[in-house]
Amino acid sequence: MNGPTTSGAYLALVTIDADTGRMTIERFVVVDDCGVVVNPLLVQGQRHGGLAQGLGEGAFERMVYAEDGQALSASLLDYALPTAWSIPDWSMGQTVTPSPINQLGVKGIGEAGPIGVPPTLVSAVLDALAPFGVTEIHPPLHPEKLWRAIHHARLSGKG
């Protein structure tokens, strides 16, 4: 895309353990275009942080409430965030299309990961769950939700 906005392409390959619902990200490929890169170290940090944030949105983070409405995941002690162990080894590439709307030719990059990762994970999960007959699922893609989707499809005779 030759224009003023940031763009990118994301691809994920996942496997899902049908007995536990545990998703494993086997490969995650990211190519972003943030225009001219002024400080490569800062751009790389923004990309990694944004990808981790997108992974949290897509796979871990969720608010859980008790029957009386009390939040059970109200602090960082019990709110699931990605950890260093859970972040995949991203394969990262970039392309440079200078922005025509500023003299430096720069674009934003911090928002790319939170925008691109969740739908990429959903697409990869739907591909992995297709043999079970699962055709729709929404993030966060935590193991219980994946396990329930698999077993609901099995019980309904889809998979």
In this predicted model, what pLDDT tens digit does every residue of 73-102 receive, in sequence order?
Answer: 888 887 788 888 888 989 999 999 999 999
**Rounded mean pLDDT of 50-66?**
92
- For residues 50 and 110, the answer to whether their CB atoms sit within 8 Å is yes
In the CATH scheme, what is the code of domain 7-60+90-155? 3.30.365.10
Q: Where are the domains of the chain?
A: 7-60+90-155
Give me 66's structure tokens: 């008790």
pTM over 0.95: no
